[in-house]
A and B are shown apart, each in its own frame.
Chain A
Amino acid sequence: MYNFDFVKPTTLQDAIAALSRDEAMPLAGGQTLIPSMKQRLAAPSVLVSLTGIPELKGVCRADDGAVCIGAATTHAEIARETAAIYPAIAALAGGIGDPAVRNRGTIGGSLANNDPSACWPAGVLGSGATIVTNTRQIAADDFFQGMFTTALEPGEIITEIRFPVPEAAAYAKFEQPASRFALTGAFVAKFADGVRVAITGASEGGVFRWREAEEALGASFSPEAVDGLSVSADGMIGDLHGTPEYRANLVRVMTRRAVARAQ
């Protein structure tokens, strides 16, 4: 990889200032960015580490009951800290990659990258979470804008993610065994006013809500409720791991498994 200046600020303000430098990029856990830089897919001139800023770390409970997770909190820490308060999110975090990856990778890094096969976009969109940045709050429905694309402006930093806690929820993924990313994953969350279903790994447009299933599950929150549904293979990812038709089928299968797990 090409060389760069490395800076590790200890406050959000200093991080924002450092990110205004020419060709600066933020570095969270680095589990995607460092491999991308090795391949020269990314070549920042300045890397601004976000791992030394205490206010970006940790899990807490807001007054309204929401689970608030600092953007630089690692997957491993989230798995531990949310086990009692939002088990579906704890299970999702504890199933990402492998233990060593979970000890470095962060929720904010994963969301800012918006890999079409990452787990967090499904958990965040499926929960209807809010992404808080240094300048504003962004609803999950507005945040994800296609493969590797988000609503974030240059220099904007995710500081926190706020998850409303549903009545029942679960995540189910079919893993691509080499990369451990989701070949297809479904996050299902049942709230008092309806059900949300978010699918990752399947679509060329990145994470998306499966509205048809949301409607069917809103009427009857049972695995059988999605049996009669099908998803079009149009726009689904096709690669050596699976055809678009295979992924379209997995959307229903993984949703069904997630609902069964949430019972």
Chain B
Amino acid sequence: MPQVTMTVNGRQVMREVEGRTLLVQFLREGLGLTGTHVGCDTSQCGACVVHVDGKAVKSCTMLAAEADGAEVTTIEGVTPADGGMNPVQKAFQDHHGLQCGFCTPGMVMTATALLAENPRPSPQEIRDALEGNICRCTGYHNIVKAILAASGQDVSALAAE
């Protein structure tokens, strides 16, 4: 079995994996990082989005072996070391950007990647960035609002619906 070494949330890990082990299985079952969710397992829903070398990817559609040598960040890794929440997570709470919360880890990871690339996105740019993240509670309006707020922009123009 191939051995992989990667840095996950700042910590170096080394494990043997099967060729077919998906990155999401490696994170959840191998490392116990169950904050990354498996929704559809067909790369449609985005619940499994993590960052690999700073880029958002669907960890259900990437082999763990392909992440050998990479820096991986999961939802557990975006939380400040002293606990609490990062600004995107806080904005999701403040603006009710979640209902059941299943899609939230993927939403937060996608939003964080968007804001790193585009610090002041328009509501349309936020919606475009979320194309691959599905929320079954249909909470998109408040998710967009939360991301807009996390970018430091005024959300009053987006009326509560």
Contacts and interface: CB of A to CB of B under 8 A. Distances in A.
Contacts of A4: 19-20
Given A6-B63, A34-B63, A180-B131, A100 B19 contact: no
Interface string B41-76: 111101001001001111001110110100000000
A66 interface: no
B56 A103 contact: yes
Indicate the member of A3, A99, A179, A180 with the most B CB atoms within 10 Å. Answer: A99
A3 B20 CA distance: 5
Contacts of B113: 99
A76 interface: yes
A35 B131 contact: no
Given A31-B43, A31-B61, A35-B61, A103 B68 contact: no
A101 B58 contact: yes
B18 interface: yes
A30 B19 contact: no
B67 to A, nearest CB: 11
B92 to A, nearest CB: 18
B37 to A, nearest CB: 14
Nearest to B18: A3
A103 B63 CA distance: 14
B132 interface: yes
Interface residues of A, number: 28
B65 A99 contact: no
Interface in B112-146: 113-114, 129, 131-133
B46 A100 contact: yes
A99 B61 contact: no
A104 B57 contact: yes
B2 to A, nearest CB: 6
Contacts of B63: 6, 27, 30, 34, 47
Nearest to A180: B131
A239 interface: no
A100 B56 contact: yes
B36 interface: no
Interface in B21-40: 22
A8 interface: yes
A64 interface: no
Given A30-B66, A76-B55, A99-B110, A104 B61 contact: yes
A192 interface: no
B62 to A, nearest CB: 6
Contacts of B57: 100, 103-104
Given A31-B43, A97-B132, A98-B46, A104 B19 contact: no
Nearest to B53: A103
Contacts of B132: 97-101, 180
A2 B55 CA distance: 28
Interface string A16-36: 000000000001001100110
A8 B58 contact: no
A1 interface: yes
Contacts of B44: 178-179
A27 B42 CA distance: 17
A49 interface: yes
Contacts of A61: none
A31 B59 CA distance: 11
A114 interface: no
A179 B131 CA distance: 10
Given A101-B61, A179-B44, 11 more contacts: A3-B18, A4-B20, A5-B19, A6-B2, A6-B63, A35-B61, A99-B110, A99-B132, A100-B132, A101-B58, A103-B56
Interface of B: 2, 18-20, 22, 41-44, 46, 49, 52, 55-58, 61-63, 65-66, 68, 110, 113-114, 129, 131-133
